[in-house]
Structure 1
Amino acid sequence: MTSLSTKLAALEEAGKPIQVGIIGAGKFGSMYISQSHRTKGVRLAAIADLAPERALNALKKTGFPQEKYDTTGSLSLEEGLKQGKTAITTDSAAMIATPGIDVILEVTGNPAAGVRHALLCCEHKKHIVMINVEADVLAGPLLTRKAKEAGIIYSMAYGDQPALIAELVDWARTAGFDVVCAGKGTKHLPQYHYSTPDTVWDHYGFTKEQLASGDFNPQMFNSFLDGTKSALEMAAVANGCDLSPPSDGLAFPPCGTHDLPEVLKPARDGGQLQKKGTVEVVSCVEKDGRWVHNDLRWGVYVIIEAPGPYQKECFKQYGLKTDSTGKYAAQYKPYHLIGLELGISVASIMVRGEPTGQTKTWCGDVVATAKRDLKAGEKLDGEGGFMVYGKLMTAGDSLEIEGLPIGLAHGIVLKSDVKKDQGLSWKDVEYSEESQAVAFRREMEAVYREEFRAAGRAAEMQGVNGAR
């Protein structure tokens, strides 16, 4: 990536900056906004947000130069491009359709909106960075196909953990190593699965003054705490790196950086993994609540394997963190900077024609799972709420139970009772395929169900031929 800034500078000098449109001016969007005007060869053309005042506030609080944006909120998208000023709009569809905008950053966090915006980008030939991991896990495998058919790039967001993990995996494979495990750190205890927006602050340690600022959404923060966000991110990694989710969901083993290769190796070699080639999230707290030494709460990692004695000896010579046998080694990045790093995605797409991580296949899914006994007639309240959390599972297992994706478990009514810790099925809820997101997801399930069947039949035939 050493040439990205040079190539951006050349665009600046040529007077042909990359024109960026962003949808959503929340925390992640604001972090990107704060850096966008500092990057040569890039210009923030427009911000689309349902609340224009939120977009204006994001520009003001991040120190965006006042002369570079429309302070009145009345400038049209076209005039903004002509004048070189950031325009503000409530109409995301119009922004995507505007000629001259090169790449769209989807930062809404709303899975249905993410699907809609991605399909509009396909229609209007705009590259898209899907910061909306909820949408990516809901429908990313099929959205990537649609994007390729449209001739655009659909990318993960650099700075977000899935893209950083994908980068580590790519490094390992490019250097010729097998990937044993890849993932991230977080704060998790088993009881957190049942946390609600009413109990979430008991576990975070924010002060009353911080909470009073209004920047803290209890349901959003609860989705991190109850394991849903970790499940979504690891599904994205599995799909983007062709890795397998654990068969019974994430285990969240307590683990510090010094123990990564010891804990995250196959059980047959003394570790805690079912097999090689998987994803996992490590917790920064022990099961009794003690803080883990050398925790990786904010970081990402990859575990590689020495393919032979020579490489194993090299691991030792160069001081890699290895397990007790010296066979398994860890590489990790202790922090991620979220939206402050997002410009890497914009640059990679526009000057290299490459995404910073992208869904390759459908390996992992996140299914809505009951936090308590649920009753027919209740309306689901979605990710981070009082009723369900998201559990990671293989796509095949999800199809087998007709799993209800966590991204659509909001605002729909149960028609069956569901026991605590049971995964919800499409059969348990009332839904309508008149919803674009529902219809697109069901289409994706049908496509992959047939492809999995065909692959199974091909494998069976290969086995029969081999036996002959």
Structure 2
Amino acid sequence: MTSLSTKLAEREASGNPIQIGLIGAGKFGSMFVSQVHRSPGMRLAGIADLSKERALASLKRTGFPEEKYDSQATTSVADGISSGKTAITTDSAELIATPGVDVILEVTGSPAAGVRHALLCCEHKKHIVMINVEADVLAGPLLARKAQEAGIIYSMAYGDQPALIAELVDWARTAGFDVVCAGKGTKHLPAYHASTPDTVWSHYGLTQEQTKDLNPQMFNSFLDGTKSALEMAAVANACDLTPPKAGLRFPPCGIHDLPNVLRPASDGGQLDKKGTVEVVSCLETDGRPVFNDLRWGVYVVFEAPGEYQKECFAQYGMKTDSTGRYAAQSKPYHLIGLELGVSVATIMCRGEPTGSSKTFAGDVVATAKRDLQTGEKLDGEGGFMVYGKLMPARDSLAIEGLPIGLAHGLVLKKDIKQGSGLSWQDVEWSEKSQAVAVRREMEAMYRKQLGA
């Protein structure tokens, strides 16, 4: 990766900067906005957001130079590229269709919007960085295939944990190691699965005043395990790893203990088998903080293939498990949107994604937080009714699991017991929805491929 900044500088010197379109001016998008003007060889061509005011506020809040954007939000994206000023629009389709835009950053968080934008990028031959992990898990394996057929790159977002995990997995495999487990850290206790927007702030230890401008349902999707399940499904699909059959366990674990905890049960660890994903918690089961935790970071556990490599681990100070066979590499932090430019540069300067769905290995199924009643309307991830549970894709196909990305606005046709996974048969749905149609197309394709 050492040459990326040089290649960007060359683009800057030649007057051929990468033109970037950003869809969504929330936290992740704003973090990218704060850095893109500092990166030679990159230009923010336009921002598409349902609210022009929100997009303008993002530019102002992050210190984007005033002379480099249209403060009146009246310039077209095409004219903005010509004049060197970032344009603001509410029309994401216009942004994608504009000639001269090279890469689209999809940061909406809406699965339906993500699917629509990915298909538009295929149509208009624009590379896409799918920051929207909800859309990626809903249909990423199919979208990546359609992107390849269209001759564009479909990429994970560098700076977000799935892409950083995929990078560690790639490092291990490139060096000749078998990957035992890969994943991230988070704050989790078993009781959090039942958390709702009404209880989320008490779990975070925040006051009403501290949270007045925050979205409780969005934050709750991180706390109740849904976001972790989505991210690990994305990693499984990008790295061809198998999710644990019973879902994520969230074992308490510090960085120093990764090789001991995340090794097979047959060797004294907590894994059913090698080649899986898992999320470690920064809290002990009684709520005490874990020593040397990995709350914000990512890791990969790998295995010495023989005695010689074990000796090398010891000689070079690797922290291993008690047998000396298993070791780990980790990155303690991730900077999400502040690092996103690495994806843009890798796509445009090297013709490669920073991680991308390759197969349908993991899925996230909507699971009841409480007893649900016939006629109730599902309120989506982070809400009061369901959380997302990670499972192998083959198992999800076998039960016709309802993906968490579509568990919003659908009406229940039957009662569901707390803790039960929902299926397509439990809800009223229609393929008139583009997102539903694309998901069902992907399921049919992989049902044949996996024999499920």
Query: Is this a same-fold pair by TM over 0.5?
Result: yes
How far residue 320 of structure 1 moved from its aligned partner, in angstroms, is: 1.1
Partner of 1:386: 384
Distance (whole Å) between structure 1 residues aligned to residue 26 and residue 121 of structure 2: 21
Contact preservation (8 Å) 2:201, 2:216: yes
Distance (whole Å) between structure 1 residues aligned to residue 299 and residue 319 of structure 2: 12
Q: CA RMSD in A?
A: 0.7
Partner of 2:339: 341
How far residue 206 of structure 1 moved from its aligned partner, in angstroms, is: 2.4
2:285 paired with 1:287? yes
Alignment of 1:291-370 (within 5 A): 291-370=289-368
Partner of 1:145: 145
How far residue 61 of structure 1 moved from its aligned partner, in angstroms, is: 0.3
- Which one of the candidate residues 250, 261, 264 is aligned to 1:263? 261
2:215 paired with 1:200? no
* Counterpart amino acid of residue 172 in structure 1: A
2:429 paired with 1:451? no
Partner of 2:126: 126
- Which one of the candidate residues 217, 220, 243 is aligned to 1:219? 217
Contact preservation (8 Å) 2:114, 2:132: yes
Provide Cα deviations, 1:197-256, integer angstroms capped at 9, x if missing partner: 0000001122444213x1x11000000000000000000000000000000000000000
How far residue 68 of structure 1 moved from its aligned partner, in angstroms, is: 0.1
Q: Secondary structure at the match of 2:210?
A: helix
Partner of 1:32: 32
Distance (whole Å) between structure 2 residues aligned to residue 103 and residue 450 of structure 1: 33
Unaligned runs of 5+ in 2: none
* Counterpart amino acid of residue 246 in structure 2: D
* Counterpart amino acid of residue 424 in structure 1: L
Runs ≥4 residues deviating over 3 A: none
Provide Cα deviations, 1:45-90, integer angstroms capped at 9, x if missing partner: 0000000000000000000000000000111111101100000000
Distance (whole Å) between structure 2 residues aligned to residue 210 and residue 18 of structure 1: 38
Distance (whole Å) between structure 2 residues aligned to residue 321 and residue 72 of structure 1: 56
- Which one of the candidate residues 244, 247, 254 is aligned to 2:245? 247
Distance (whole Å) between structure 1 residues aligned to residue 25 and residue 207 of structure 2: 25
Partner of 2:395: 397
Partner of 1:406: 404
What is the TM-score when the length of structure 2 is the normalising length?
A: 0.99
Contact preservation (8 Å) 2:11, 2:41: yes
* Counterpart amino acid of residue 136 in structure 1: D
Distance (whole Å) between structure 2 residues aligned to residue 185 and residue 167 of structure 1: 16
Distance (whole Å) between structure 1 residues aligned to residue 208 and residue 189 of structure 2: 24
Partner of 1:278: 276
* Counterpart amino acid of residue 390 in structure 2: L
Distance (whole Å) between structure 1 residues aligned to residue 294 and residue 61 of structure 2: 30
Distance (whole Å) between structure 2 residues aligned to residue 451 and residue 325 of structure 1: 39
Distance (whole Å) between structure 2 residues aligned to residue 17 and residue 358 of structure 1: 24
Distance (whole Å) between structure 2 residues aligned to residue 248 and residue 57 of structure 1: 44
Q: Secondary structure at the match of 1:134?
A: helix
Q: Which moved more, 1:320-329 or 1:146-155?
A: 320-329
Partner of 1:53: 53
Distance (whole Å) between structure 2 residues aligned to residue 318 and residue 387 of structure 1: 50
Partner of 1:181: 181
Distance (whole Å) between structure 2 residues aligned to residue 20 and residue 341 of structure 1: 15
Partner of 2:231: 233
* Counterpart amino acid of residue 34 in structure 1: S
Provide Cα deviations, 1:120-165, integer angstroms capped at 9, x if missing partner: 0000000000000000000000000000000000000000000000
What is the TM-score when the length of structure 1 is the normalising length?
A: 0.96
Provide Cα deviations, 1:340-389, integer angstroms capped at 9, x if missing partner: 00000000000000000000100000000000000010000000000000
Alignment of 1:39-188 (within 5 A): 39-188=39-188
How far residue 319 of structure 1 moved from its aligned partner, in angstroms, is: 1.0
Contact preservation (8 Å) 2:201, 2:207: no
The count of corresponding residues between Structure 1 and Structure 2 is: 452
* Counterpart amino acid of residue 149 in structure 2: E
Provide Cα deviations, 1:290-332, integer angstroms capped at 9, x if missing partner: 0000000000000010000110011111111110111000100
Identity between Structure 1 and Structure 2 (%) = 79
Contact preservation (8 Å) 2:195, 2:224: yes
Distance (whole Å) between structure 2 residues aligned to residue 359 and residue 76 of structure 1: 33
Q: Secondary structure at the match of 1:21?
A: strand
Unaligned runs of 5+ in 1: 457-468
Contact preservation (8 Å) 2:250, 2:279: yes
2:7 paired with 1:7? yes
Q: Secondary structure at the match of 1:312?
A: helix
Distance (whole Å) between structure 2 residues aligned to residue 210 and residue 96 of structure 1: 37
Distance (whole Å) between structure 1 residues aligned to residue 329 and residue 77 of structure 2: 44
